[in-house]
Chains A and B, each alone.
With several copies, the nearest count.
Chain A
Amino acid sequence: MTGRKPARSATKPARGQPEDGPEPVRTTYREAMREAMREAMRRDDRVFLMGEDVAAYGGCFGVSLGLVEEFGAERVRDTPLSESAFVGAGIGAAIAGMRPIVEIMTVNFSLLAMDQILNTAAAIQHMSGGQVRVPLVIRTTTGAGRQLGAQHSHSLETWFAHIPGLRVVAPATVDDARGMLAGALDCPDPVVVFEHTGLYGLQGTVGDAPDAADIDTARVRRRGSDVSLVTYGGCLPRTLAAADTLADEGISAEVLDLRTLRPLDFSAVAASVSRTHHAVVVEEAWRSGGLAAEVAARIMESSFYELDAPVARVCAAEVPIPYAHQLEQAAIPQAADVVAAARQAVD
């Protein structure tokens, strides 16, 4: 599950390694996330991990494998199946000065803890007039593509991105898997980290001892001049693939990885669109009321007179994700869909 295979990832470390810097390390997204947790726990004894099957089982996607051996069952803490209680316990522990990382197996199950997340974690700082802060990190998986059916395949990033008081991030590269968790732990407010299950096997390089990555900015993953492809999380690889195809057709696509979904680094989006005058927003969420709608609306607000065409959206079909392979693939955005939308936009 954690073996190192030869690279096939199209992503590169975003920050250049200085010539005389530490050797870049080849690793996977899964391992990078694990190392980020390991480092955080070594560095700061207020940090601990809790969630279902994070310890004895090693994490339902193997992310926390081995951590309980190093840090013990107090700091790598298996919980009962009680999403509300253990998320709420994370909130309380954060308020009391700890730095909990709470893992919710998938965002689908986060619904069971949604009251704690919205009504407590996100609201308590405001309700208390600024007295109470919640430096909590919630890690959860998202996304479809593995034939897990409707109750395991939602992409609800957009709901979280709607909530004032939260910060929401979606690392889409190995480097960000390594760096953004540390950034999240440095944040005094609750941060929700979305990990697309399709990314865990992604290979890439990270610096030997990477610093915390910022959790504020979007990043251009590929430069281009004809159209801006705006995306995040699990759709980044597909969008980069689409940009390759478009390049073959003579269309130069810029790929912007939002990285942080709340607050949006909108100036980066606007800057890209002001260069390309065309935009396509790509995400795996259902179309109606997805985050792509927000990005599109804001592009219109900021760059209406610079747009040569309406902003296009490539999203999931509005259907509970079906099990059958052909249906599931038809339901979620494919590189070809991005290509088609970009082609139409620049037409």
Chain B
Amino acid sequence: MDDREHLRDLLGRMLLIRRFEERCVELYSAARIRGFVHLYIGEEAVAVGVNAALGPDDAVVATYREHGHALAKGLTPESVMAEMFGKVTGCSRGRGGSMHLFDAERRFYGGNAVVGAGLPLAAGLALADKMRGEERITCCFFGDGAFAEGEFHETANLAALWGLPLLLVCENNLYAMGTSLSHEHAQTDLAMRAASYGMAAWAVDGMDVSAVETAARRAVSAIRAGDGPHFLEARTYRFRAHSMYDPDRYREKEEVEWWKTRDPIPALAARLQRMGSPADADTVELEEQVARQVDAAVRAAEEAPEEPVADLLRFVTTPPEVKA
């Protein structure tokens, strides 16, 4: 897990997310991408570290801030970028947009824009696996803000009660939009609170991809062994505003700057460097590779066709020829 190749791979994944989203910002300014867009920049170690511990058959449910989770789960930059453009080649055929990325084949079940609402869904995916004796697990990402929703409480209890194969990853980035953790919660030790539901729970440094991966592997193998749901609090931070609309008035510049010193990408690059040259070469190569991927994704998205308006009513219900 700590070998050079693996770490280099993780670095590449984090870089892809970072550069992909930076490009999204430009495209948003150019009005090629619309709607609400929530950037994951700064939090890449969480999605990448956790996904490194998941297998391809494991399911993921994420939030509206899910470009990172989607890419880490293996969705192609092409399909995600096309989705942001609203094109028919998008991973949701342009019907979802940034907040509703889907890929059923890769068991990526969204892309959910109602805070906390992915949790019950994830419990259901896990329940199906448990009832059929499948080995696979389900992982649900959600925020510190979502922890305050009733849906979190109900799902945590249900999952613990039924011993569901569910990994709950709380991305504690200290804010829910403009509301800071201590204005959201009386008791801010979220892992401790999760443990009170009767499940294993611990916190991890969400700015250290290896730490996240290690924690996630420990949880995942316990879940696969039948130990029931686990809760991981990843302590992280978003470097950008909540969404493209957010003027970010509620955070101190110093706080943001301090967290940027903990950026997981240069940290991992430096670690690779310490592990032996030619690490700079690694980074350069990865950057080039990622830039090519993102360029190609943008180009493909630009060129892709739109869903014709005549097809508006498709995918609301299943056509009669398809049976359950």
Direct contact of A and B (CB under 8 A): yes
For the complex, give the distance between the alpha carbons of A5 and B157 in Å. Answer: 43
CB-CB under 8 A from A319, the residues of chain B are 312-313, 316
In the assembled complex, the CB of B207 is this many whole angstroms from the nearest CB of chain A, namely 24
Q: Are A324 and B86 in contact (CB under 8 A)?
A: yes
Q: Are A126 and B316 in contact (CB under 8 A)?
A: yes
B185 within 8 A of A: yes
In the assembled complex, the CB of A156 is this many whole angstroms from the nearest CB of chain B, namely 14
For the complex, give the distance between the alpha carbons of A324 and B324 in Å. Answer: 28
For the complex, give the distance between the alpha carbons of A57 and B97 in Å. Answer: 25
Kindly report which residue of chain B lies nearest to residue A331, judged by CB atoms: B312
CB-CB under 8 A from B35, the residues of chain A are 146-149, 323
Q: Are A132 and B126 in contact (CB under 8 A)?
A: no
For the complex, give the distance between the alpha carbons of A95 and B124 in Å. Answer: 8
B322 within 8 A of A: yes
Q: Mark B59-88, 1 if CB is under 8 A from A, else 0.
A: 100000000000000000000000000110
Interface residues in A184-231 by Cβ distance below 8 A to B read 185-189
CB-CB under 8 A from B115, the residues of chain A are 81, 109
Q: Are A88 and B148 in contact (CB under 8 A)?
A: no
For the complex, give the distance between the alpha carbons of A43 and B13 in Å. Answer: 46
Q: Are A89 and B124 in contact (CB under 8 A)?
A: yes
B96 within 8 A of A: yes
Q: Are B102 and A131 in contact (CB under 8 A)?
A: yes
Count of A-B contacts with CB under 8 A?
A: 284
Q: Mark B15-39, 1 if CB is under 8 A from A, else 0.
A: 0000000000000000000111000
CB-CB under 8 A from A318, the residues of chain B are 313, 316
Which of A98, A112, A119, A187 contacts B131 (CB under 8 A)? A98
A34 within 8 A of B: no
Assuming the contacts A81-B116, A88-B155, A130-B93, asked whether A150 and B100 have C-beta atoms less than 8 A apart, the reply is: yes
Q: Are A90 and B34 in contact (CB under 8 A)?
A: no
Q: Are A151 and B97 in contact (CB under 8 A)?
A: no
| Majority secondary structure, B binding face | loop
**Interface segment, B105-113, B271-279, B290-298?**
B105-113
In the assembled complex, the CB of B96 is this many whole angstroms from the nearest CB of chain A, namely 5
Q: Are B177 and A53 in contact (CB under 8 A)?
A: yes
Q: How many positions in chain B have a CB within 8 Å of any CB in the partner chain?
A: 81
Q: Are B154 and A85 in contact (CB under 8 A)?
A: yes
Interface residues in A43-75 by Cβ distance below 8 A to B read 48, 52-53, 56-58, 60, 74
For the complex, give the distance between the alpha carbons of A85 and B151 in Å. Answer: 6
Q: Mark B150-192, 1 if CB is under 8 A from A, else 0.
A: 1101110110010000000000000011111001110000000
Interface residues in B240-263 by Cβ distance below 8 A to A read 245-247, 249-250
For the complex, give the distance between the alpha carbons of A158 and B147 in Å. Answer: 31
For the complex, give the distance between the alpha carbons of A165 and B116 in Å. Answer: 21
Q: Are B250 and A56 in contact (CB under 8 A)?
A: yes
A322 within 8 A of B: yes
CB-CB under 8 A from A149, the residues of chain B are 35-36, 95-97, 99-100, 113
CB-CB under 8 A from A330, the residues of chain B are 309, 312
Q: Are A317 and B148 in contact (CB under 8 A)?
A: no
Q: Are A128 and B96 in contact (CB under 8 A)?
A: yes
Assuming the contacts A80-B154, A116-B117, asked whether A92 and B128 have C-beta atoms less than 8 A apart, the reply is: yes
- Could you list which residues of chain A lie within 8 angstroms of chain B, going by C-beta atoms? 1, 48, 52-53, 56-58, 60, 74, 78-100, 108-109, 112, 115-116, 119-120, 124-133, 135, 146-152, 164-165, 167, 185-189, 317-320, 322-327, 330-331
27 contacts between A and B (CB under 8 A): A57-B179, A78-B183, A80-B145, A80-B154, A81-B148, A82-B157, A85-B157, A86-B158, A92-B109, A92-B125, A93-B127, A95-B109, A97-B128, A112-B151, A125-B318, A129-B102, A131-B92, A132-B102, A132-B110, A149-B95, A164-B316, A165-B316, A188-B318, A189-B318, A322-B95, A323-B95, A323-B97
